[in-house]
């Protein structure tokens, strides 16, 4: 299903079930590939990604692996319980405000919220802490639910909900620029801080390439 989420306009435009985690193509649209999961280190951990918690790197390296299926590369997360991040990207969120990715839930664990999430960190605060919006796959919260963040937590938007359709790829399309302005009441930086990914303990989920598109 293709699901477009722009909280500024409060618009939900449906979803498309997809067959693979290949880089999506958009006819006539320039694209900025933020991560295609083609490059990996010797143990399968994605190249240029870092652990949020440096004290548990071994677990993270075991949990996140670049894999391929039918010629398409993707990131597989297995019982991760921690976040990984990629900071070295050249992304102007005003020029490329729409973030799209594909994900596939293959195993869910009850009682975990969220099951998984993609973070778009478009700025930093005065202490250089990333300011982000968290797009989540929730076990039970309705799609479109917005939870405001606090001083040390970002705002959360549910873009996928439920665990019934295991093994199917879903594509999300979110306007991170408009969401940021609506939630944080100011313009983001001209260069985004980065992107992050997390999967809950006991959850198995695959992430396809993350691609930014110009606004319409």
Q: What is the pLDDT of residue 153?
A: 73
Q: What is the pLDDT of residue 56?
A: 67
Instruction: Tell me the pLDDT of the chain (216 aa) as tens digits.
Output: 434 343 333 333 334 444 455 555 555 668 999 999 999 999 999 999 998 866 667 778 899 999 999 999 999 999 999 999 998 899 999 999 999 999 999 999 888 899 999 999 999 888 888 899 999 999 999 999 999 877 667 899 999 999 988 999 999 999 999 999 999 899 999 999 999 999 999 999 999 999 999 976
Q: What is the DSSP letter of 131?
A: E
CB 171 within 8 A of CB 24: yes
Instruction: Name the pTM for this structure.
Output: 0.86
CB crowding 96-131: b at 16 or more within 10 Å, else e? bbbbbbbbbbeebeeebebbbbbbbbbbeeeeeebb
**d(C-alpha 23, C-alpha 102), whole Å:** 9
Q: Which domains does the chain have, with CATH numbers?
A: 2-213 (2.60.120)
Q: What is the pLDDT of residue 182?
A: 94
């Amino acid at each position: 299903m293709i699901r477009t989420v722009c909280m500024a306009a409060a618009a939900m435009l449906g979803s498309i079930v997809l067959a693979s985690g290949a880089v999506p193509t958009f006819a006539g649209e320039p694209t900025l590939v933020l991560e295609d999961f083609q490059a990996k280190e010797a143990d399968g951990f994605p190249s240029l990604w870092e652990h949020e918690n440096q004290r548990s790197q071994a677990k993270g390296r075991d949990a996140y692996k670049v894999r391929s299926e039918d010629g398409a590369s993707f990131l597989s997360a297995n019982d991760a319980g921690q976040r990984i991040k990629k900071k070295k990207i050249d992304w102007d969120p005003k020029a490329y405000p729409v973030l799209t990715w594909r994900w596939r839930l293959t195993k869910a664990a009850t009682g975990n919220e969220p099951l998984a999430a993609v973070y778009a960190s478009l700025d930093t605060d005065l202490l250089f802490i990333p300011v982000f919006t968290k797009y989540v796959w929730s076990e039970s919260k309705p799609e479109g639910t917005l939870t405001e963040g606090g001083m040390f937590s970002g705002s959360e938007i549910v873009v996928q909900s439920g665990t019934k359709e295991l093994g199917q790829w879903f594509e999300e399309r979110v306007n991170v620029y408009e969401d940021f302005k609506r939630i944080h009441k100011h313009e983001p930086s001209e260069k985004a801080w980065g992107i992050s990914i997390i999967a809950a303990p006991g959850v198995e989920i695959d992430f396809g390439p993350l691609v930014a598109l110009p606004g319409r």
